[in-house]
Every structure is written in C-alpha cells, then in structure tokens.
Amino acid sequence: MDGKTGKTRYFAYSDYLKQKYGERVYKLPVNLPITCPNRDGECGKDGCIFCGDVGAAFENLPSSLSVKEQIRRNAEYIGKKYKAKKFIAYFQNFTNTYMPIEDFKRVISEAAKENIVEIAVSTRPDCISDEYLEVLNDIKNEYNVEISVEIGLQTVNYKTLEKINRGHTLAEFTDAVLRVKKYGFDTCAHLILNLPWDDKTDVIENAKMLSALGVKQVKVHCLYIVKNTKMAKMYQNAEFEMGSYFDYADKVITFLEYLSPEIVIQRLIGRAKEEHTLFANYSTSWWKIKDSIDAQMEYLDTYQGRKCDYLNGKCVRKFLT
C-alpha cells in the first residue's frame, strides 16, 4: 500500500478486503444474549463510563433469534442491497468471548456456514485466553473461514483507562494481542481518540503502541455521550468539554501520520443514533466528517505512516547506511 496515492491517503478496510477476498465483502452483525464482566460484577458493576445499555451496536437483530436466523435475514437484506455474495459474521455487541467455552464453540460454529468467509469476534482484552483461541482455530480449520478478533482498548493511557472504568490496563491488551497473533488471526484495536483526559501525546502514543505491537487493523471513534451513562452526568455537570470537530480531525490525522502504513483502517468515525445520545459526531453525518478528514489530508499532503520512523532502532540507523 502506498499511502500517498489512490483514493484515500490511508490503508482503507474496503481495499484490504478486496485484496484479501478478491471482491467486496460485507459484515453481518450477530447479536448474542450476553453481557460483559465489567457490568455483571466479575471485574466491575458499572461498566465503562460511556457504555449504554444497548452496548456498542444498535443495528442488530434481536438476540432472541438464533445465530443462523440472524445471518440468514441479514445476508438476504445486505446481499440484495449491495449485490454481495461473501460475508463476515460479526459478533459485535458486548463481550463475545464471555461465556462458557462450550457455548462459545456452539455459537461460533453456527455462524461458520456457506457464504461466510470470516468470523469477527469483538471482546475485551481480559476475556481472551488460549483455550478460547484454540476453539477459534479449530473452527477456522474445520470450516475454512478466516478469523479476526476485535479488542477494545480505547486508549493506551492507563490513567485514562482507570478514569473511564475499563477494568483493565494496557498490560491485558498487550497480552491479548500477542496471544491472538500467535494463531495468525487478524487483530483489530478499538480506540476513542478524543477522550477528555487524553491529549495529543496520548494520540501519538496510541499510534506508536499499535504499530509496535503489529496490530492488523484499527477502528477509531469520536466519543459519543450516551444518555443515562455516568459520562452523560459528567457532561451535563460540565465536568469536561467536548473539543471541536477541528480538534478531532487534527487528532485523527496525527494518529494516522504516526501509524504504521501496514495497519488497516476500518473506520475513522463511528455511528450512533441521535435519540440515544446527548452528543454524537458534532451533529454531523459520519460520512461528511470522513470526507472532510480525507480532504484535509489531501490539502496538507500528508498520509498514513509519514511519521512512522520510530521502530527498529531509530538511533542506530545511521551506523547501518
């Protein structure tokens, strides 16, 4: 990938999927009736301070439907809409490895059928163990599907992680990435680039840490303020301010500049329903923000990896030339 040419100045997920599968591939969300150890008392009761009752996704079908049925309905709808033939079964909401291992095996196997080329499992860093990865590896071999594991981090700043009540630190994330990589599965890290307690130094360290760990993909979000959360109360009490759109765009561009050009960008901005939030994406549609960041990168003539010169012994490089 050359970040300086082409339609975008970063390694877009759609390009990666086309390279990998030879055609457009679409995600089918699968919603399981599960929770999260940061909500049920295992490691915390209140959850992350920004997390709403509906979890991360609002586009899902009801979790009372079987995995098979959710995939069938979503494949029919998305297949027709985009003329798609290959799909990724995406277990997104809450913590999709937080269940007895036999249940995990059953639900993941149920997704590995016909036109599913990949299974993507979203989870927390402290819910990844060798035993669960072994299950995924068996499914990969038995059904000939690719596996990717999406791991929530939000920020590498362990003091901010404490403030947002994540219930884990950077160490668990590092451990999880290294374990997933041993199996050759793609890893995807989830970050919120504009947490109020993080500054630009943290944004740069996010990029450097993911690059050093060799994470394969990244999903970047702008913070939403979801109604009825602890963060919503703090926002209403003016305990912090949301920066401007320009501040967010600047953070995203800085992040991309320091990020390895090998890392695939799944998204630069998320989506949230207005009725669930007090603040979401500066009341602007996600694609307008994305287009504006793309245009700004073009204007600045910058690209992903432009400042990624810090790995592999920067200071001894002069002795090797």
- Which residues contact ligand SF4 by CB under 6 A? 36, 38-39, 47-48, 51, 55, 94-95, 124, 152
Output the smallest distance, CB 36 to ligand SF4, in A: 3
CB atoms within 10 A of CB 257: 21
- Nearer Cβ to ligand SF4 (39/306): 39
The burial class, CB within 10 Å (0-12 / 13-18 / 19+), for 278 is: middle
Angle between helices 67-82 and 101-111 (to 10 degrees): 30
- Nearer Cβ to ligand SF4 (36/256): 36
Output the smallest distance, CB 98 to ligand SF4, in A: 9
- Nearer Cβ to ligand SF4 (153/308): 153
Output the smallest distance, CB 12 to ligand SF4, in A: 25
- Nearer Cβ to ligand SF4 (48/89): 48
- Nearer Cβ to ligand SF4 (124/306): 124
Output the smallest distance, CB 51 to ligand SF4, in A: 3
Output the smallest distance, CB 159 to ligand SF4, in A: 17
CA angle 158, 161, 165 (to 5 degrees): 145
CB atoms within 10 A of CB 64: 9
Compute CA distances 128 → 22, 131, 142, 150, 173, whole Å. Answer: 30, 8, 21, 11, 9
Compute CA distances 230 → 52, 124, 238, 261, whole Å. Answer: 9, 20, 13, 36
- Nearer Cβ to ligand SF4 (3/125): 125
In sequence order, the 6+-apart residues with CB closer than 8 A to the CB of 232 are: 225, 226, 278
User: Dihedral angle at the C-alpha atoms of 220, 223, 228, 233, nearest 10 degrees?
Assistant: 150
SS3 146: strand
Output the smallest distance, CB 149 to ligand SF4, in A: 14
- Nearer Cβ to ligand SF4 (38/206): 38
The burial class, CB within 10 Å (0-12 / 13-18 / 19+), for 96 is: buried
- Nearer Cβ to ligand SF4 (57/84): 57
| Sign for the pseudo-dihedral over CA of 28, 182, 205, 311 | negative
Residue 102 DSSP label:
H
Output the smallest distance, CB 32 to ligand SF4, in A: 12
Output the smallest distance, CB 152 to ligand SF4, in A: 6
